[in-house]
Each structure stands twice: as C-alpha cells, then as structure tokens.
Structure 1
C-alpha cells in the first residue's frame, strides 16, 4: 500500500505553522507539485505587494523604479532597457522557454502526441484569440480606442498556471496540460499579432540572423560534445536579434524550446552511463569523472535536462519578480470614476472575461460534438469552462499592447483598470465554475463509481466483453498485495465463468515501488504483441526482479520480438496509456492497490474470493437472468 509521508507540521513540534489557511488551501491542490504550489503562493504575494506599492502615498516611486534604465554598449551598438522591459522581455524569455520545453515534451511524448487530443487545445486557443477581439470591437468599433483590440487577445501564462494551482479543482487530471498547451499557442499567436499589427518598424536583417541562429540550434543535436555552451551562445544571438528587429523577443524562448530534442532514455545510452560510473568507482580520477558525467547527461534528452535545471529559477524568482513589475496598477479615485463609464474599460473586461470563456469553452464543445477531437480521460467540459474563465487573466502582453496601441495617458489608465478588473473577475469566475462543477459532481461521489467505462478496444480484459458482471482492478505489479490478490481473482473467475469480465488497469505507486512504472510499461509492450496476461504473472512471480534486463528476460521467455518490445516500452502511446489509468485513479481518489470496482461501483473492505463473489451476486447486474441461471 502507499504510505503517507510525515507532514511538515509534525516535524516542527508544537509550533503552529505560518499562514495556516494558505497552507491548507495549497495542500488541497493535490494534482500540482510542491514547486507549483509554492510558486503560486509567491506569485500571489508579489501581486499584492505590487498593488500596495503602486498606490502608496509616496509619489511615483513604483513607476520611477521600474522605468530606471540599464544599458549595454558594445562598440557603437547600445542596448538600453528599463527594469520592467528587462523583466518582461529578458527574464520572461526564460519562463516561456521552460513552458515551451514542457509543451514540446507533451507534443512529442505526452498526451498531446495524439492528434485527436492535441487538436482541441489548439482550436480552443485560436478561438480564444479571435472571439475576445471581436467582442472588444463590437464595444469600440471606431475611434482611437479601436486599435487596442489586441489588449484582450492573450492570456497570461504565468498568472493562469498560478491561479489554477490556487483555485483549480482538487483533482485536476489533464486540465493543467490542456491549459498549458492552450497558453503556449495563445502566446505564439499574441506575439505574432504584436509583430504584425503593433510593431512600427521591423528590421529584416536581424530577423534573418535570428532565423539562421535558430537553424544552428536545431543542428546542434548532431554534435556529440559542446552542446551546452553553444546552446547558450546561439540562444543569446536569437534574443538580441529579435530585440533589434522590433519583434517581441520572448517569442524566441518558445521557438528555441520547440527546436530542442526530447526523447525517452535509450537502453544503450543508459548502459553506457552505468559502465562509465563503474569505471570511475573502480578508478576515481578526473578523466573518468568527466566521462561519467557526460554519459549520465547524454542518457537523458536535452529537453529534460534543461527543464529540470531552469524550473526552480522561473518558479521562485522570475515569476514573482514579473508579478511585482507588472501588477502595480494605479487605482486613484479619478481613474476609477472615468473607467466605470469608459467603453474602453468595458471592452477590455468583456473581451477578456466573456470572450475567453465563450471562445475556449465553446470551440471545445463544438470540436467534441463534431468528433474532430477528444478530451483526455477525466477532462470534462465543466473543467474546461473553469480553465477558460481563468484564461481571462491578462497581464504581460495586455499591458504591453496598451503602451503600443494607445497614446493618451488617460485612456491608458482606463485600459489598465480594465485589465486589472478583468483579471480579478476571471479569477473569481474560474473559482465559482470549479466549485459548481465540484458540487454537481463532487470528488467524494466520483470516488464511488468508475470514472471511465470499460472499453474493449483499450482495456485489458479476461472473459467475454459482453459479460453481465464486471470486476475492475487498479493494481501495481510491484505491490505484494496485488500479487496475493491474483489467487482470489482466479477463484472468482472460475466461479462465474463466462458471466464475468475481469479488467486490469494501472496504478503504479512510484513513491513506494520504484520499479512499478517500468513494469507497467513492460506489460503494455507485451500487450502490443498480444501477451499481456502472460507477462503479468511473470512479473508478479518475480517482484524483486523488475529491472529493465529482467523485463527483457521475461519478454524473451515469451518469445516476443525484443526490439519491438523495447521500442514499445518507450513509445508515447504506452506512456499515455499508463498515465491515463493513473489519472483516472486520481480522479476517483484511489491511492492504494489493489482497489476493485464491482459492476462500476467501488469495493471497500476485504478482497478475498468469498467477499468478491458475494458482492458480485449482490450487485445490480448479479440479479440479471443470465446470472440467476448460475445458481
């Protein structure tokens, strides 16, 4: 069974934890990592500090500070940026780079590698760009404010993910991945709009230089050494060239990330790294140490290495600084009074709050209805609507376009109030929608019934697919309790015969069973060759030997194609299939193995053969005529 780690409060003795309500709120966001929870808290604190600082009776200290400039001069060429631009165009490039790395992995190996799933967030993002602009232009069709339609097109990725971690559903499932992919497409579209409609002058020579540097970055994958320094050098070239061209340089972060290779660890490279490590252990010296380090680094993709390296910096430093630099909107009485009756302010509010919700949720429902794409398991339209509402939070690009599209300082203030009001309303609306969805289908109720019906095309089934009785097990091949339960299951299947279908689904408890995930993928690789229920008993019988070489040995004993077996273990289809089962379990609040569902209802208590047989008889389907004949 999965063990619960000791809480941090228990290790602190009798001392009460600081900010107990905030800690409790973040602790409930169980679908988010500790990094995301902490980053969300820091982002919220920095936002509040920025608002307080900007409205203190200390003159214009906030604006004065962020408008202070720094410059770099090389020969006759000078780069000059104020502090806010340094954050928005410099530091945030690294944030978009990290986001791009994560999305690249999802599109290459994750759930978005399946086109039917990827098409939904892409289509939703496009609608989320277009419909807010249309709504804004309906309210501001002419005049000097009509040119500001770009203010409402973009969501703020940093605030969106932070808000999702704070007020999103307790069990988010695939929602974060959906919104992350949507946000990146949204960012690319918004930055493209800036380049086309809000850039007074584009210099093509720097653009050509940036394109050539991107081509070099793509080609670096073929080098066997020196990749790290070269990635840094040419990434800086891309950023400087885009800045000199007049195009938003943060676009370079996404472009670079999408060009960096990602792949699952290959067996040959992993074994090579192990050999180098053994050589260093036998004869420690600097040459062997460097070789071992290179071998270990080469065994995982550049994408994975860079994502792990830079995520702490973006989460704990860049995002809070970004919020501090951008959230300080002046809220004087005169400005608020003018904003209340301003079509510009209401256009911004309606575009972001209504436009994002209608565009994203509406196109998602349409794509699903027309069967042009599918939502991941557990990702309901209600949850998408909550995420769509949060997408109305707009800061970075919205505030940036205000400066580009509006010359009148008074109108700029009215637009900024609209952005702030829209972000607050979007936050509240998203919170409300998530709570309504949880009330209509609360997690406690979801935990009692099977989240996803049995699918003969996907699930691993023993027995007739049209059997009146169903027994679903969420299990772990390294769990000793699951191994013992196999005897009970055999008895139950023998008792009911063709009246029962038994279904296996994965729930690898990686915290306590380090080989469970690898074993689950091995079972799927065996299933690709029609031998799932032959592979499973071998792994249960040898739970202390589930390393890759052991699994390959079991596959060889079953006379499987080993090259195909190993390739299937690394495939995105296998990774997604195991992850989908685990996310289904999370949605049902299943956190221990084995967990059984009898005819779609969760079983609690003992799972010996007699108990399972009795509950199967007592179920609704057990009363059917086909089962009555068994007596």
Structure 2
C-alpha cells in the first residue's frame, strides 16, 4: 500500500505543478479579472422552496477537498492498523518531528505578526505538502533510500492529523448548535450501520452527504467529515479463510473457465481485501490527479505585478510564512528528530543517517495544499491573502532548492543518494568481524568443531526457511553450534525490530531460543499484540529495558556490516562468510568443508 501511495503522489506532482502554473498565468494574464469572477460564480440546486448554493471556489474547497481528506482518513486508518503507524517505536521519531515541524514554523510566523491583524495566520506555514515532497525526492534520485520516504510519509500523515485538529479548534468562526446536533446524529447513524455490519453504499453516500451539509451549516469545516468517515471505514489483514476461499475460486476458474466462475473468483479475491484498501485504490488517483490540481487551480492564482511584489517584500505575513517554511520547518523537524533519538524514545526505519534526515527536513518546508487551504480560512482581506500566497510559493521554492542542495552535497560525499547512472562497487570482507564471545546467543556444545554464525531477521521469509534447515541440521549433527545475531532489515520489515527486542527480553529470562523458535514459527503474526502473547507464554516482560536491548541490536548490526553482511540471512562457517545456496544439501556440504578446514 505504501509503495502505491508513493507512486501516485510522486507521479501527480507534475499535474499539480502544471495546475499551479496555470492558475498563476491566468491570474496575471490580460484576462486576470476573470479568474476571481469565475471562481465566485454561484452554483447549487433546489428542492422545491429549499435552495442550496455555493460559489465554485467553496464547492472545491469545502466539497471536493472533503474527498481529499476522506482519502487521508483512509490512509490514517490503514497505517494505524496495518501499516507504519502500528509500531510505536517507528512512529515516535517522525511523530515528534512532525510536532516540532509545526510548533517552530508557527513561532517564526508569530515573531513577525504577533499582536497584528494577521496573527491568526500562524497555521499557514505548519503543514507539509506530501505530493510535492515525494515528487521532489523522485526527481533528486531514484536511489534515495526507501526508509527516508517511509519516514517522511509517516511524518506527513501525523502532520495531516495535527493540521486537521488545528483547523477544527482554531479556525471555526462560529457554531450553529442545531446543525451541530444534526451532524452528530447523522454521524451516529453511520456508526450504527457500521456496527450492524450493513454494507449498502447508497445508504452511506446519502447519510454522508447529509452529514456534510449539516457540518457546513454548523460552522465546523466540512472537510473534517472526510477525515472522520475515512477513519471509520473497515480495514483488516486478509484472513487465512478468505485467502483460501479466493485461491479455491481462482483454481475453479482455471480448471473450468466460465463467466460464473470468473465472477465468483473476482468476488472472492475482492472480498479478501478490506474496503479501506479498495477505496484507496479507486480514490487515490482521483484525489491526486484531479481534486488537488483543481484545488490548486482555484486557489493558487495571485496577482504578481510590481505593486503586489513590493508590498510582499516588506509584508510580515509574507516573511513570516516564507521563513516559517524554510527555516522553521527545517529547525523544527531536525530538533524533533534529535530529541526522541537522544532519549531513546524510538528508532528510525532502515539505516538512515543525519545527511539523509537533514535533506528530508529541508524539503518538508514545501507547504502548498493545506497551507493554501488555511489561507482561505484565516484571512478575509484579499490583499493579506495574496501576500500569504506569495509567502507560500516563495517558501516552498526555497525549501525545494535547499533540499536539492542538501541532497547534492550528500551525493558528493558519498552519502544520501547515488546518481542514477553510478553503481558503486563494494569489495565485501569475508571474515567474521567480531569473534563469538560470552555475550552471544549460542545453541549447541561449546566444544563443537563447527560454529555457524547467523545474521538474521525474524520477519525475513528466507530466514524462516533457513531456520527449518538449521534445526534439522543440529538434530542430526551434535558437533555443530549455532550463534544468532540480529540484523533487522528495518526498511523492508517494520516488525523485525520489535520482534528482536522481545527476543532480547526473553534472553534476560534465559529463554532466548524458545522465543527465537516461536517468532520464526509465527512470522506472519508479529504485531505488538502478538508479541505480547508470545512473551506471556514464556512469562517474559516484553518491553523491558528497551534502550539497552536497542544498543545490543545496534552492536550486532554494526558487527554484521563490518563483516560484509548486507542482507539476511547471512552465515559464517568457522568465521568465514558463506556464499552458497541455503538448501539443506548445500548447508551440510559447507559444514563438512568447515570441519575439514584447519
């Protein structure tokens, strides 16, 4: 799901940029006056004597953008239950970084505008535009590490949640209690349908539209309806029963092709995937390629004549927003990343280094969609709104430039990314960097003639397959001992670190190998809840002394990298890195060769 999100967001950047340029060209063309007049055209419908009408800009900002935030709600719900946000150790750092990336820009803005008529615009520089950020990362180099994109995606999701809370709390001008009560009742009706497991799309669409109208009339911004409804959509991992049924239906169609079998196979496969994921697949392209570009076309048009630009150069609004995005975002995200890492509150995905994080912090100053959205809520004065939009455009361009420079400097130093046409060659060592010592996890006799050191990852399926091979080997050959060291592939396996930490907690109780075997026997089930159950089975406290165990993992990883480990599983036979196949026959042959070697 994350890869599909990244692909869609990065690909839609060109369309969003084109819509922004079109809006600027339109607003500054000889027909510039038609820009505002067009978007203020009234449109609506009537039911008898009842009429409902909004201008086109409000239909876009309050209507279409509700669908955009509905998709964000779907993404939040998915990530919390099945994705990046389910692991609190991986979430802690980007979450605090997102918070820092909102507090500092707001403080920078208020430093220029506190006490003035535009003080209410402090929310404009707080938000990061995910589409532009991921699009820029795609442009600066396809070899930029996936963990950096995962980190920024998690940061952006937390950023969106906090931005929506700020809009709900600080940018609601007045409330209509009757409309608010009606909205609450309609939301309760939708939750009741969900509880009763009544899945009829027309009912949800009708109630959802009524909820949107009631929320609009209540004074609360209706896009919050999108977030709420998106979060309520069911998301679940495919069950073994549904997967088996889908496989049987596909097999039935393969053996006896027919229209009925094809329909049943399609339905079974579809039912195996949650409604949340199906909706994301359908709506994400519409949101990214249509709704957000139309929003940019409706809101990014600002007059850039000499008078407007001169006013913007000295405007505290423009300066506060531009510097908030460029300096505030960079400083806030950097500080917000350093604090939880320093205090051992969380870990980073993959093997990210500060050069990568600083580049990501710089490009996070690209604020556009939500920033323009808040401009519409914060400023009634057209002149101040125009200065705010100039600040957004200037700050975003400067942030993109600073981020580009940061990545280029990292390339020149052999850091963050490699240019696409350069494939660095590395001569890997073949000897075990750190000899087996008293702190290692050892299974087998101390005087065995063959010692196998395995660098493994509890979520790696290849490690799971090798586990069975090694178990069988040690049952047959008592003259072999196995040493296990952690090498979690953080960017590929988000549960690997959590599993390793639980294994270390079990080691404190003298039950490492029991936990080791349980984890490999249950590789598909490594959520925090699952790990807690496994720990309870062994009477182990699962999250005890995480900082010390994290340091142990880091030592294992460092020793592995020094010994040429670049993936899992990697084996060393009597201190020499094994480079053969991982089947039983090859492993047994390697054991015999190691036994014969001096």
* TM-score greater than 0.5 by the shorter chain: yes
Match of 1:175 in 2: 148
Q: Is 1:108 aligned to 2:81, yes or no?
A: yes
Match of 2:329 in 1: 356
Match of 2:524 in 1: 569
The 3-state SS of whatever aligns with 2:146 is: coil
2:53 to 62, 80, 87: 80
Separation in structure 2 between the aligned mates of residue 154 and residue 507 of structure 1, nearest angstrom: 27
- How far the C-alpha of 1:534 sits from its partner, in A, is 11
Structure 2 residues without counterparts, runs of 5 or longer: 419-423, 504-510, 532-558, 580-593
The 3-state SS of whatever aligns with 1:174 is: helix
Contact 1:87 1:321 in 2 (8 A): yes
Q: Is 1:388 aligned to 2:361, yes or no?
A: yes
1:600 to 532, 541, 563: 563
Match of 1:317 in 2: 290
- How far the C-alpha of 1:359 sits from its partner, in A, is 1.7
Match of 1:191 in 2: 164
Q: Is 1:123 aligned to 2:87, yes or no?
A: no
1:230 to 193, 200, 203: 203
**Change beyond 3 A, Cα 1:220–1:55:** same
**Change beyond 3 A, Cα 1:42–1:468:** farther
- How far the C-alpha of 1:346 sits from its partner, in A, is 0.9
Contact 2:101 2:333 in 1 (8 A): yes
- How far the C-alpha of 1:177 sits from its partner, in A, is 3.5
Q: Is 1:308 aligned to 2:281, yes or no?
A: yes
- How far the C-alpha of 1:419 sits from its partner, in A, is 1.6
**Change beyond 3 A, Cα 1:235–1:47:** same
Aligned positions of 1:294-305 closer than 5 A: 294-305=267-278
1:224-260 per-position Cα deviation (integer Å, ceiling 9, x unaligned): 5534333323332332222222222222222212122
Separation in structure 2 between the aligned mates of residue 320 and residue 214 of structure 1, nearest angstrom: 29
Match of 1:141 in 2: 114
Aligned positions of 1:439-450 closer than 5 A: 439-440=412-413, 441-443=415-417
Contact 2:235 2:275 in 1 (8 A): yes
Match of 2:215 in 1: 242
Contact 1:107 1:118 in 2 (8 A): no
- How far the C-alpha of 1:203 sits from its partner, in A, is 1.6
The 3-state SS of whatever aligns with 1:78 is: strand
**Change beyond 3 A, Cα 1:229–1:296:** farther
Separation in structure 2 between the aligned mates of residue 68 and residue 426 of structure 1, nearest angstrom: 35
**Change beyond 3 A, Cα 1:254–1:529:** farther
1:152 to 112, 125, 128: 125
Match of 2:173 in 1: 200
Match of 2:587 in 1: none
Match of 2:303 in 1: 330
The 3-state SS of whatever aligns with 1:81 is: strand
**Change beyond 3 A, Cα 1:463–1:426:** farther
1:560-581 per-position Cα deviation (integer Å, ceiling 9, x unaligned): xxxxx4xx624446999xxxxx
**Change beyond 3 A, Cα 1:395–1:506:** closer
Separation in structure 2 between the aligned mates of residue 39 and residue 461 of structure 1, nearest angstrom: 51
Contact 1:463 1:502 in 2 (8 A): no
Match of 2:387 in 1: 414
Contact 2:242 2:268 in 1 (8 A): yes
Q: Is 1:59 aligned to 2:32, yes or no?
A: yes
**Change beyond 3 A, Cα 1:460–1:429:** farther
Separation in structure 2 between the aligned mates of residue 332 and residue 367 of structure 1, nearest angstrom: 46
Match of 1:68 in 2: 41
Contact 1:124 1:359 in 2 (8 A): yes
Separation in structure 1 between the aligned mates of residue 156 and residue 200 of structure 2, nearest angstrom: 29
The 3-state SS of whatever aligns with 1:425 is: helix
The 3-state SS of whatever aligns with 2:524 is: helix
1:492-520 per-position Cα deviation (integer Å, ceiling 9, x unaligned): xx9x97797677877999xxxxxxx9xxx
- How far the C-alpha of 1:169 sits from its partner, in A, is 6.9
1:428 to 391, 401, 414: 401
**Change beyond 3 A, Cα 1:505–1:342:** closer
Number of corresponding residues: 516
Separation in structure 1 between the aligned mates of residue 170 and residue 26 of structure 2, nearest angstrom: 33
- How far the C-alpha of 1:366 sits from its partner, in A, is 0.9
Contact 1:464 1:500 in 2 (8 A): no
Structure 1 residues without counterparts, runs of 5 or longer: 1-29, 510-516, 537-554, 556-564, 577-595, 617-626
Separation in structure 1 between the aligned mates of residue 564 and residue 395 of structure 2, nearest angstrom: 42
Separation in structure 2 between the aligned mates of residue 438 and residue 431 of structure 1, nearest angstrom: 11
**Change beyond 3 A, Cα 1:98–1:571:** farther
Aligned positions of 1:506-521 closer than 5 A: none
Separation in structure 2 between the aligned mates of residue 268 and residue 69 of structure 1, nearest angstrom: 52
